[in-house]
Chain A
Amino acid sequence: MTDFARPWTCPFCPLLCDTFGVEAGAGGALALVGSSCPRAGAALAACSATPSAAVPAVEGRPCDLDSAVTAAARLLANSRQPLFGGLATDAAGARALYALACASGAICDGPPALMQGVRALQDRGGFSTTLAELRTRADLVLCFGGLPTLRHPEFLARAGLAADDARLLVLGDGDDRFETAARLAALVEGRAVEGAPAPLAAAAERLKAARYAVLVFETAGLGPHGALLIEMLQRVVATLNRSTRAATLVLSGSDGGNDGGNGGGGGDGAATVNQVFTWLSGLPLRSHAGPHGLEHEPLTFDAERLCADGAVDLLLWVASFGPEPALPQTSLQMSLPRIVIGHPALAAAGADVFIPVATPGIGSDGHLFRTDGAVLMPLHALRPDTLPTVADVLRRLTAALAT
């Protein structure tokens, strides 16, 4: 069912592959053609080939869109400090979300892994590269933390690498990632490192000898102090760039639900929202327009923390690509009022107001940033949809809040 005059862009991981097709599969679901990518396959299987019959609900009772928007606007108007999370939407959704965030004074936060990358950039900067550069130029690809193929199944194919490619090197896939990264940085700088394992010393030599080395890492796998790891990897790159050429490539895809709902779910909506908020306001996520103007707090505006501390009294959750990202457990434990603007599969999430929306790239057109942040990819609807887009719903909500 792909319109081949206009190829399909897969929205389900931030590689945003656009060379595969889609057809109507068994039982009315969608099936991938031209790739065996398990992430795309699973996500498509959760999407119907026919428009969804899902309807909005207020306190579990089905209703029309106007009633749901009115109820959501009432919740927002009564909230002293709302939190917007999930953020799995496209650029148009992000534009509309910013206007609503300004109108309601909401704090916005994405998945924790995303902010690890933002904080590393804020503190130290870095040198990055993109998929086409890697494919064309890299004579050494160091995957730090393991091969990224679980979260990004098409990575090796996109990079032009075989699984046993001689250019491929894996480091830091054990429990000693911080030590490995620190030792690697020291070795590359030419310092003596006592007790450095021979393979690590050999890896440092290979990096120094490479003409164009790319250090690949996934933000989702780095853990709570990932920003420090990213800084160490950037230090390796900075050292190499004094004499040869090197760069990092960040893979920002989530676990698709395997990391306790913290991932960001299907697609990389939150990274796109982060870009859009940054250009509109000048500040990234974990910001809000408060009584003292725009405030940015990269640590204290962590969604999990705000929920757990009772610092917010309403959660608006956006998840248009699939059932993930799921609502944070803390928001359920704290029984926060919840507005969910999401994939029909989130109907069972127990929201006070639930508004089902179209999935960009399935039921609507859209735009998402690719993992390297350099390319904004167009998404195309595979079929018409009865459901509104996230942007539609948010614009109506902003208008309702203003009346």
Chain B
Amino acid sequence: MTTLRIRGGHVVDPKSGDDAARDLFVRDGRIVGASVEVDEEIDATGCVVMAGGIDMHTHIGGGKLNLARLLLPEDHRNTVPRPASPLELASCGGCAPGTLVTGYRYVEMGYTAAFEPAMLASNARHTHMEMGDTPILDHGAYVMLGNDELFLEMLARGEDFQRIRDYAGWTINAAKAMGVKVVNPAGISAFKFNQRKLDVDEAHVHWQVTPRQVVQTLARALLELGVPHPLHIHGSNLGVAGNIESTLQTIQALDGLPAHLTHIQFHAYGRDGPKKFSSAALQLAEAVNANPNISIDVGQIMFGQTVTVSGDSMRQHAQSGFASPRKWIGADIENEAGCGVVPFRYREQSYVNALQWVIGLEIFLLVNDPWRVVLTTDHPNGGPFTSYPHLIRLLMDRSFREEQLAKLHPEVAASCALRSITRELSLSEIATMTRAAPARLLGLHDRGHLGVGAAADIVLYRHAADFEAMFSTPEYVFKDGALVARSGRITAMPVGGTHFVAPDYDRAIEKSLRKHFAEHGQVNFDHVAIGHDELCRCCNGGRLLPAACFEGQPT
């Protein structure tokens, strides 16, 4: 058992509050206390040392991602062709990259875990396989509920809350999920019944339930099941001018229950101004600041080509006319959910796109508590994850931000509130938004920090005035104590682990689920749940990392 000392680096560890030079010691894949006997030493002088990055909302695997790859061969032809390291297999893609190159690029940037936010229970094996084929990164996924006909039917007939909670618990266990995501609550199902819009208090045309009821029920169910990550909400009316109203109503509907509002930039639009489209970042930030039960990730947009992949078939169908190139894929899936894949090019000279860019940055800079804001582009929906270093520079460097702002549509550049925001995020705030906060929000106690006992996922960034360059290519990346990347080159290829939760629930629910699957399903009930051995095979033999559920109040 060898001990590694990382000597003299500037340790930025928001959980402990460390923000100064100190040594770190690593043994057996873990961070340990100071040791006199050291076998190996790395000189980290001039480096910033952080825990490995954790992306808690990134579409890295599953059916809709693979449809995006199939849809866009032209995007892939233009990307880096050759493996950069002899350990790598060929893999390509810019906005919908192959799983292999996804793992390589994340790790080269200093990320060590990524979470797929929209796994269909019926597509869970496929999703786990793709994540298992994403090298090195630990991974997990949130299973989608709230558009499945069974849940809506139970809600519609006034089924006991306990039974709905048990159904959620069973689904999480069956799909080996890390949490639950609701996408356009009841809206994906409503689209199958030809409803084209669903406000928070509007009834689903068939089941007569409202998004408000769906969100309340699921948020409460997760709390009672003790799932560490609270309900992950992709709200109603994504992308619609004036949707701040829906977002505020959703926060109100939660009535203090913990929840995570995802890619919130897409849900913070007003309808003021000459083009009836405006920033509602201030209103949103005020609501987040006033409601400590709420956390968010931003879903910043980045200019250039990308592809939007979403379970929200209702909204994606509505947006499909903006597809660039002009083609798109949609699907209704297994009485559970749907998907929409719409390629898109964000343009600096588009009023709407420029404002979206501004709104995302305003949200980052107006929310006070970095522990409740996670840095995401909702990869690839706002832009590919490879743009994170650029985004970090925008947040940390006001003059750089001003330079970029000047390139935008002139009306936006001239009038946005962002112009007058002087805040520059600190290294500690960036470390919070990219590792410490996501670890806490997911209930990963031994990740996202550098305290004794934590997993040795460690990144050394060479300090530079250009934060984009600094965060693009760390000098060293360690995963569970093993050196996996050195100056942008992969040096080892361990298989990542799979995070999931296994909440307790009353097994009596399985009797009615068996009946439901026999009548409405197309998979034998005994085939629905994924066992540990099968999960392990799907995930390429990576470690299984069950996260503990809490009892009583979440910590």
Interface residues of A (CB under 8 A from B): 5-7, 9, 18-19, 91-92, 95, 98-99, 102, 118, 121-133, 135-137, 158, 211-212, 241, 244-245, 247, 275-276, 278-284, 289, 292-294, 296, 298, 365, 367, 369-370, 373-378
Contact = CB atoms under 8 A, between A and B. Distances in A.
Query: Considering the complex of A and B, which 9 residue pairs feature the smallest CB-CB distances, nearest first?
Result: A293-B81, A282-B98, A282-B93, A289-B90, A125-B327, A131-B522, A376-B126, A376-B125, A127-B330
Contacts of A137: 192, 332
Interface in B184-221: 191-194
Interface in B315-336: 317, 323, 327-335
Given A282-B96, A376-B126, A377-B527, 8 more contacts: A18-B523, A18-B524, A102-B90, A122-B70, A125-B323, A129-B332, A280-B91, A282-B92
A47 B93 CA distance: 41
Given A132-B521, A135-B522, A374-B123, A127 B70 contact: no
Contact of A128 (B98, B126, B331, B527): B331
Nearest to B520: A136
Contact of B331 (A212, A244, A279, A374): A374
Interface stretch (B59-67, B173-181, B294-302): B59-67
Interface string B59-91: 001010111011101001101111000000111
Contacts of B329: 121, 125-128
Given A127-B329, A132-B522, A280 B527 contact: no
A6 B528 CA distance: 11
A98 B123 CA distance: 22
Contacts of A365: 537
12 contacts: A91-B129, A122-B70, A125-B341, A126-B329, A129-B331, A133-B333, A245-B192, A279-B66, A279-B133, A282-B76, A282-B91, A283-B69
B76 A136 contact: no
A155 to B, nearest CB: 12
A130 B333 CA distance: 6
A217 to B, nearest CB: 16
B149 interface: yes
Contacts of A7: 524, 526-527
Nearest to B534: A378
Contacts of A131: 334, 522
Interface of B: 61, 63, 65-67, 69-71, 73, 76-77, 79-82, 89-93, 96-101, 120, 122-123, 125-126, 129-130, 133, 149, 191-194, 317, 323, 327-335, 341, 520-524, 526-527, 534, 537-538, 540
B97 A133 contact: no
Contacts of A121: 67, 70-71, 329
A55 to B, nearest CB: 28
A132 B526 CA distance: 17
A274 to B, nearest CB: 8
Given A132-B522, A133-B334, A375-B523, A284 B327 contact: no
A136 B96 CA distance: 32
B91 A375 contact: no
Contact of A99 (B89, B101, B126, B537): B89
Nearest to B335: A132
Nearest to A131: B522
Contact of A279 (B61, B80, B332, B526): B61
Contact of B327 (A123, A241, A374): A123
A83 B66 CA distance: 24
Contact of A377 (B63, B66, B91, B523): B523
A275 B93 CA distance: 15
A174 B332 CA distance: 30
B335 A374 contact: no
B334 A375 contact: yes
A330 to B, nearest CB: 26
For A99, A282, A289, which residue has the most chain B Cβ atoms within 10 angstroms? A282
Contact of A133 (B70, B99, B133, B335): B335
Nearest to A7: B524
A212 B82 contact: no
For A121, A123, A132, which residue has the most chain B Cβ atoms within 10 angstroms? A132
Contact of A118 (B70, B76, B122, B341): B70
A198 B236 CA distance: 44
For A102, A122, A125, A211, which residue has the most chain B Cβ atoms within 10 angstroms? A125
Contacts of A102: 89-90
Contacts of A99: 89
Contact of A132 (B133, B191, B331, B334): B334
A294 B520 CA distance: 42
Given A126-B329, A129-B331, A132-B520, A281 B92 contact: yes
Contact of A212 (B97, B126, B192, B327): B192
Contacts of A130: 122, 331-334, 522
Contacts of A124: 327
B98 A280 contact: yes
Contacts of A376: 123, 125-126, 129
Contacts of B61: 279
A279 B99 contact: yes
Nearest to A243: B194
A122 B526 contact: no
B194 A211 contact: yes
B194 A245 contact: yes
A252 B527 CA distance: 22
B69 A278 contact: yes
Given A136-B335, A293-B92, A375 B526 contact: no
B69 A279 contact: yes
Nearest to A103: B89
Contacts of A276: 129
A247 B332 contact: yes
Nearest to B336: A132
A373 B192 contact: no
B73 A296 contact: yes
A133 B92 contact: no
A283 B521 CA distance: 32
For B61, B89, B323, B521, which residue has the most chain A Cβ atoms within 10 angstroms? B89
A294 B333 contact: no
Contact of A374 (B91, B98, B334): B334
B67 to A, nearest CB: 8
A380 to B, nearest CB: 9
A9 B527 contact: yes
Contacts of B522: 130-132, 135, 158, 370, 375
